[in-house]
Copies of this chain bind each other. A is one copy, B any other.
Amino acid sequence: MSEQITLSLSEVKSLSESILTQHGFNADHANAITEIIYSNQLADCHSHGLFRLFMCTESIRSGRVSGTAQPIIEDAGPAVIKANAQDGVSLLAMQAAMPKLISKAKHNGIAALAINRCFHFSALWPEVEILSQAGLAGMAMLPSHAWVAPAGGTRGLLGTNPFAFSWPRDGQVPFTFDFATSQFARGEIELYRRAGKPLPEGVAIDQEGQPTTDADAAMQGAMLTFGGHKGSALSLMIELMAGPLIDDLTSKESMAFAEDKPEAPYHGEIILAFDPDLLSGGQRAANQQRAERLFADVIDQGARLPSQRRQAAQQRNLARNAVNIPKSLYDDLITLQSL
Q: Please report A residues at the B interface, Cβ cutoff 8 Å.
A: 76-80, 82, 107-112, 114, 137, 149-155, 157, 163, 165, 167, 175, 177, 179, 181, 209, 226-234, 236-237, 239-241, 243-247, 250, 252-253, 270, 272, 274-276, 278-281, 283, 286-288, 290-291, 293-294, 297-298, 301-304, 306
CB pair A280 B244 closer than 8 Å = yes
- 4 closest residue pairs by CB, A with B: A227-B227, A77-B109, A80-B109, A153-B303
**A246 interface neighbour in B227, B279, B293, B303, Cβ under 8 Å:** B279
CB pair B107 A298 closer than 8 Å = no
Chain A interface, DSSP helix/strand/loop, else mixed: mixed
CB pair A114 B279 closer than 8 Å = yes
**A301 interface neighbour in B149, B226, B253, B281, Cβ under 8 Å:** B149
Q: Residue of B at shortest CB range from A292?
A: B244
CB pair B80 A107 closer than 8 Å = no
Task: Enumerate chain B residues within 8 angstroms of A304, measured Cβ to Cβ.
Answer: 152
CB pair B233 A177 closer than 8 Å = yes
Given contacts A152-B303, A181-B230, 7 further A-B contacts (CB under 8 A): A76-B278, A78-B109, A149-B301, A226-B228, A233-B306, A244-B276, A244-B291
- What is the distance, in angstroms, from A128's C-beta to the closest C-beta of chain B? 11
Q: Residue of B at shortest CB range from A291?
A: B244
Task: Enumerate chain B residues within 8 angstroms of A150, measured Cβ to Cβ.
Answer: 298, 301, 303
- What is the distance, in angstroms, from A271's C-beta to the closest C-beta of chain B? 11
Q: Residue of B at shortest CB range from A179?
A: B230
Q: Residue of B at shortest CB range from A295?
A: B236
12 example contacts (A-B, Cβ-Cβ < 8 A) are as follows A78-B107, A110-B110, A151-B303, A153-B301, A177-B237, A234-B234, A243-B291, A244-B290, A245-B276, A246-B279, A250-B290, A250-B293
Task: Enumerate chain B residues within 8 angstroms of A209, measured Cβ to Cβ.
Answer: 301
- What is the distance, in angstroms, from A222's C-beta to the closest C-beta of chain B? 10
A228 to B200, CA, bound (A): 15
Q: Residue of B at shortest CB range from A227?
A: B227
CB pair A247 B108 closer than 8 Å = no
CB pair A175 B240 closer than 8 Å = yes
CB pair B247 A302 closer than 8 Å = no
Task: Enumerate chain B residues within 8 angstroms of A155, measured Cβ to Cβ.
Answer: 301
**A108 interface neighbour in B80, B233, B283, Cβ under 8 Å:** B80
Task: Enumerate chain B residues within 8 angstroms of A279, measured Cβ to Cβ.
Answer: 76-77, 80, 112, 114, 245-247, 270
A179 to B153, CA, bound (A): 19
A274 to B77, CA, bound (A): 11
Known: A157-B298, A283-B247, A290-B250. A278 touches B233 (CB 8 A): no
CB pair A240 B76 closer than 8 Å = no
CB pair A297 B80 closer than 8 Å = no
